[in-house]
Structure 1
Amino acid sequence: MPEHHPPCPIGTRQGAGPDPAALFADYARRWPDEQAVAMQFAGLLDDPADPFVRGRLAGHFTGSAWLVDMAGERVLLTHHRKLGRWLQLGGHADGDRDLARVALREAEEESGLPGLVVEDLPFDIDRHWIPGRDDVPGHWHYDVRYVVRTTGGEDFVVSDESLALAWRDIREIAMDAASDASMERMARKWLARTEASVR
């Protein structure tokens, strides 16, 4: 089971952050079954257009949060206002190359929860199509997901990004055939990790 790094408080995430190419290479090593996808992500870094800004309409990086409670048994999901599905919190990098910081910022803004902490290494990656809407054509999101943890209360505040928020049992997501495929994958990864940690 891949190792994981201790979480990092938002106040200590300063500067440009780690080298994205090194992160994707490390991800491919930790998750060999996802090596092809990791190489797709690494290849995007060589594009002359900045893949960390949403203006690159062919596709761009986003950062998401697998936001778990202190017990590690539930994850906070958003009923996404634009996509109409229950998903993890997250959003655009908007030029920030530290995607862990992006994930943490989005989690804080979309949940209203104080004192969140983020792990240093990507927990999951997912390339998915975003349908066109208004004047924005359809495009690819190269989403990099990080584990974010609560350190205190769980009383969230629903932002304008969401129709609703809800804490969901991770085991239920892993067993729910109706779950989004990447949500089910993250739930299974999380359960495997937590079970390995208690052996």
Structure 2
Amino acid sequence: MNRAELISQIENYQSEHAEEMEMKGRFLDLLLIENCFERSLAIGHITASAWVVNPAGDEVLLLHHRKLDRWLQPGGHADGDEDVIRVAQKELEEETGLEDVILLQEGIFDLDIHSIPARKSDPEHEHFDIRFAFVAKYPDRIKKNEESHDLAWIPLDQLESYVGGERSILRMRDKMFA
């Protein structure tokens, strides 16, 4: 996927969730900025993440992020790569050890824009996160890396106890039940 294909996917993206539809314009505006796939764009930049469920579809893989001290789906910075599906898979493999995954659906699964707090020399900024849904072929092959405190398969019906009211994560759960 390149920038033009991503723009087309976002333009055509439909969701029953009003907050996602409201974000589409901001994504499209950001994609007009040359270095939007680079962390050097201080106002915010494109990231990609992976919503990964087990083969039964009743658990999701989350990591307890070391820097943010929250349970999140695997994902990270594009670092110049416009192929956001590849970015999501690369981050998934680096953060969880999972290599054998199947794309659950073609195209974008979820869109989210969220604030990242200032840290060291990085000012507060926004992540424009493009999310893709996957199924893990071998869910028992997970291994955490140094970026997280923990890595776990979380039953979807217990998700709220891990993420509290984090609406964007609960929205992805709701999409699984739809």
Same fold (TM over 0.5): yes
Q: What corresponds to 1:12 in structure 2?
A: none
Q: 1:166 aligned to 2:152?
A: yes
Q: 1:81 aligned to 2:81?
A: no
Q: 1:139 aligned to 2:86?
A: no
Counterparts of residues 40-51 of structure 1 (less than 5 Å) = 40-47=26-33, 49-51=34-36
Gaps of 5+ in 1: 1-14, 193-199
1:66-91 deviations in Å (ceiling 9; x for gaps): 01111111000010011000011100
Distance 2:5 2:86 in 1: 13
Distance 2:115 2:133 in 1: 23
Q: What corresponds to 1:195 in structure 2?
A: none
Counterparts of residues 175-190 of structure 1 (less than 5 Å) = 178-190=164-176
Amino acid at match of 2:6: P
CA contact (8 A) 1:115 1:150 kept: yes
CA contact (8 A) 2:51 2:60 kept: yes
Distance 1:136 1:167 in 2: 31
Gaps of 5+ in 2: none
Cα offset, 1:170, TM superposition: 1.2
Distance change in 2, residues 1:76/1:177 (3 Å):
closer
Counterparts of residues 26-175 of structure 1 (less than 5 Å) = 26-27=12-13, 29-31=14-16, 33=18, 34-47=20-33, 49-118=34-103, 119-173=105-159
Amino acid at match of 1:154: D
How large is the Cα RMSD of the aligned pairs? 2.0
> SS at the partner of 2:37?
coil
CA contact (8 A) 1:100 1:120 kept: no
Count of residues in correspondence between the two structures: 176
Amino acid at match of 2:95: E
> SS at the partner of 2:75?
strand
Distance 2:139 2:154 in 1: 16
Amino acid at match of 1:115: D
Cα offset, 1:173, TM superposition: 2.1
Q: Identity over aligned residues, as a percent?
A: 38
CA contact (8 A) 2:54 2:139 kept: no
Distance change in 2, residues 1:146/1:177 (3 Å):
closer
Give the alignment's TM-score, normalised by structure 2.
0.90
